[in-house]
Structure 1
Amino acid sequence: MPTESVVTPGVILGTLVLGTIIKFIVTSILSRRRNGFHLVGTVTRLSVFPIKSCAGFAVDNGVCTEIGLLVHGITDRHWVVTDAKFNVLSQQQAPKLAIVKVECQGYELVINATGMPTLKLPTDCPVDQSKIVICNTGKNTLEGLDCGDEAGAWFSAYLHREGLRVLHSAPGLRKKRHIHRTPDAAFSDFCAYHVLPESSFARLDERLDEPTTIECFRPTITDEWSEIRFGETTKLRCLYPTPRCTKVTVDQVTGVKNQSGEPLTTLRSFRCFPPYGQSPLLGVSAAIHTPGRINVGDPVYVKRK
């Protein structure tokens, strides 16, 4: 006579619990690998640098636009300091730019440096065609709106160099078109976005005798990725790893180059790859894929190549 199977309440409960665990695991895997994206962490820091090579400031949120991170009505790296011939200056030629403090108050950039009076620049000046000049970034020739004699004199006095000017990449002026057919950018070295994983920075920092700061690398958003998604909608397209030069040797507190060549020397010891020669790689240069908001704390998903 066949034996009847008896399903006890304990078996039923155990089956339900096991089913719940399996469902949780499957749901967790699916949430981490949605549409080919893998969850890798969260946004820990957002920074905007209004004036190229000057100090930036951290923000809690912003909007990823085609031409850069938009915060309080200003877009990242849309102002620049030039010499009298409109050649763009960076921390390579003028390391003291690193300690020029820039804030946004209302519709003005508020600029301060030790021993200097406060300089204020309007962020919404109308475009006067007579004030548009062509500047040379070393890689491109771009249009810029001259911000006037007061701004130029301020930076001339601060850097002890005659004839300096401040330019703004105002709306409608010619931007930089990248060779990878990305959306335009203004005065950034490579693309509109620079993403630096903290883990990559940590691997460098642990090798240094004297710790450095992540600000030396001036990331917008704090390695073989093809796309990055923040939250559910905002996406960046990764173009290439970011090569590094002597600008990272400038101390962002003192505005003085490190004579030992650090952290560049150490970075070269383990982050040099063909075809970049002696330019070590750290971080990712990226362009917009899907515009949208971004917040500190947003989950970060990546799609690997």
Structure 2
Amino acid sequence: MSYNVFDQGSPAAVFAAVAAGAAMKYMAGFLFPRDRYAYVGRIGQIWVYPIKSFRGHSVQEAECTHLGMKWKDFTDRHWTVATANGVYLTQRQEPTMALITPTIIGDQIQLTAPDMEPITFPADPPVTESNKSKVTVKADTVDSVDLGDKVADWLCRYFNRTGLRLHYSAPALEKRDASKCKKPWTHPAKPGDLCAFSDYCAYMVLSNASLTDLNKRLENPVPITNFRANIVVDDCQAYAEDSWSSLQIGDAQLRALDACTRCVLVTVDQEKGIKNKKEEPLSTLKKYRLKDPYGPKPCFGINFTLDKPGKIRVGDPIYAKLR
């Protein structure tokens, strides 16, 4: 029988893990002095959510772009469903959006959902005068591509409502600028901090340790998917992300904007598409994660924007500059 010092649970494995961690932190101190950057953890998961409020993809590597996480031909939150009057739709109103899965097949996107036949449409349709449309996300109304009647009819049948359309933020079309976002508090977004259909910015970072701390307070633990983060961090303390002002992951550099304030969307069971009747975990978060100046919504995770693009992978070390 062969023996590997990295066999889980062996004394050698424990020693190797501790030694590796110590070496990484030593190298972090050498390469990134503490007054600049320090090792704070590693990437545990990477998530891309191509269509706003639809099911996401857990991936092993992705490209950090100025407009969000990119994987294959998917860029995070570049598609959104809108109502007949052009206003974006989310799980806040339709929790069963969580059950629709988008998949890339060649140059097409396929949608699958319970009790529905799959439907496909072009992943990157050209912008024409006949398909250009408007969509409103938060306070911004921007140009988009309307994906047509076929997918619109599919969505209307799935949600049992009329007037729904699917919109796409094509590369040539205008993007939303986080610096123009109106919030009750001052936020540090700069002109050029862009996104497509995300609520506010291109990235959300959350640690598994923070989730573990929350779940200790809950009668029924929830998975990380309730919070729809892009980068999930391992090997750090709970809420360590609150203190990170910027991140270096490989070549990618991300800059913190503000706390991610949470709403009823986090109460949606992402596997069942239903809201928790007790409004958990939101109710529990409100008991201990209210912070100035963010008002009555609890903070869980940090909003980030991108300063320098680069590819990231699960397991990559993360270095941070502290606030």
TM over 0.5: yes
How do 1:61-210 and structure 2 match up within 5 A?
Answer: 61-179=61-179, 180-181=189-190, 182-210=192-220
Q: Tell me by how many angstroms 1:32 deviates.
A: 6.0
Larger CA Rg, structure 1 vs 2: 1
Counterpart of 2:271 in structure 1 is: 253
Q: Evaluate the alpha carbon distance shift between residue 80 and residue 25 of structure 1 in structure 2; reply closer, same or farther with a 3 A threshold.
A: closer
Counterpart of 1:56 in structure 2 is: 56
Q: Evaluate the alpha carbon distance shift between residue 35 and residue 277 of structure 1 in structure 2; reply closer, same or farther with a 3 A threshold.
A: closer
Q: TM-score, normalised by structure 1?
A: 0.88
Instruction: Write the deviation string for residues 36-92 of structure 1: whole angstroms up to 9, x where unpaired.
Output: 111111111111111000001111111111101111022110000011111100001
* Other structure's SS at 1:30 match: helix
Instruction: Write the deviation string for residues 247-276 of structure 1: whole angstroms up to 9, x where unpaired.
Output: 101110111111101000011111001221
- Structure 2 CA distance, aligned partners of 1:27 and 1:214? 30
Q: Is the 8 A contact 1:239 1:284 kept in 2?
A: yes
Unaligned runs of 5+ in 1: 1-22
How do 1:196-275 and structure 2 match up within 5 A?
Answer: 196-222=206-232, 223-231=242-250, 233-275=251-293
Q: Name the count of aligned residue pairs.
A: 282
- Structure 2 CA distance, aligned partners of 1:29 and 1:50? 36
- Structure 1 CA distance, aligned partners of 2:25 and 2:259? 34
Counterpart of 2:9 in structure 1 is: none
Overall identity of the aligned pairs, in %: 37
* Other structure's SS at 1:77 match: coil
With 215-224 and 31-40 compared, the bigger mean Cα shift is at 31-40
Q: Tell me by how many angstroms 1:35 deviates.
A: 6.6
Counterpart of 1:278 in structure 2 is: 296
* Other structure's SS at 2:275 match: coil
Q: Tell me by how many angstroms 1:125 deviates.
A: 1.0
Letter in 1 for 2:291: F
- Write out the 4+ residue segments of structure 1 that deviate beyond 6 Å after TM superposition: 23-26
Q: Is the 8 A contact 1:216 1:250 kept in 2?
A: yes
- Structure 2 CA distance, aligned partners of 1:129 and 1:170? 13
Unaligned runs of 5+ in 2: 1-22, 180-188, 233-241
Q: Evaluate the alpha carbon distance shift between residue 60 and residue 259 of structure 1 in structure 2; reply closer, same or farther with a 3 A threshold.
A: same
- Structure 1 CA distance, aligned partners of 2:149 and 2:158? 14
Letter in 1 for 2:247: I
Q: Is the 8 A contact 2:43 2:313 kept in 1?
A: yes
Q: Tell me by how many angstroms 1:26 deviates.
A: 6.6
Q: Evaluate the alpha carbon distance shift between residue 128 and residue 303 of structure 1 in structure 2; reply closer, same or farther with a 3 A threshold.
A: same
Q: Is the 8 A contact 2:49 2:55 kept in 1?
A: yes
Cα RMSD (Å) of the superposition?
1.8
Q: Is the 8 A contact 1:216 1:252 kept in 2?
A: yes
